Amino acid sequence: MFQKTRNIETAFQHIRLFSIILVVSCLVTTTVICIQSLRSADRAHQTVYILSAGKALEAFASERKENIPVEAKDHIRTFHQLFFTLAPDEKVINGNISRALYLADASAKKLYDNLKENGYYAGIISGNISQSIVVDSVALDMGSYPFHFRCWATQQIVRPTTVTARTLITEGWLRNSTRSENDPHGFLIERWSTVENKDLKVENR
């Protein structure tokens, strides 16, 4: 009889041990599945699709801090391209300047007002002059805030009789702003000024 009792106790211990192992295994499996599901959902949220020319292109979202230098330099390039790309068309000039002024503070508006007052834009239109710019490089100091920058670019001014290449160097500071349709990078250029703007060469057409 005692032998049977010991067998029952042993069997009960085995069943209890098996039950504990089973419960722990289920908990571990459930935890692993939940973690993997959350990771998959997070990866899915970071994936976006961009429709370009009728094709869906996959893109991945990332933290803004990873892209600050890239976005900041593109903001500076975009501003300069808009501000200095001019055509003998008042609508083109007004459109580009209006978009550029959303990206900078009153220092850019002051330069625009001075150029306008001095008849620069009227001369572009009356003289059938086209002006374009190529930004060669942008140096950005991320060590302090606001971020100081210096931009090197080359202007091309096409007149009916000549083509002029000019060097352009500007500098200013960049601070964070709110992203919007008019300012997609979320930066604002401050205390912007021209360091150098002189002729490189003039060619007859």
pLDDT digits (tens, 9 = 90+) for 29-84: 888 887 877 776 666 555 555 555 555 555 555 555 668 899 999 999 999 999 99
- Dihedral sign of CA atoms 188, 191, 194, 195 in order: negative
pTM confidence score: 0.70
Q: How far apart are the first and last CA of the chain?
A: 119
1-16 burial, b at 16+ Cβ within 10 Å, e below that, comes to eeeeeeeeeeeeeeee
Angle at 202 (CA atoms; ends 122, 91), nearest 5 degrees = 25
Instruction: Indicate the pLDDT class of residue 2, thresholds 50, 70 and 90.
Output: very low
Sign of the Cα pseudo-torsion (153, 186, 83, 113, in order) = negative
Q: For the chain, what percent of residues have pLDDT higher than 90?
A: 66
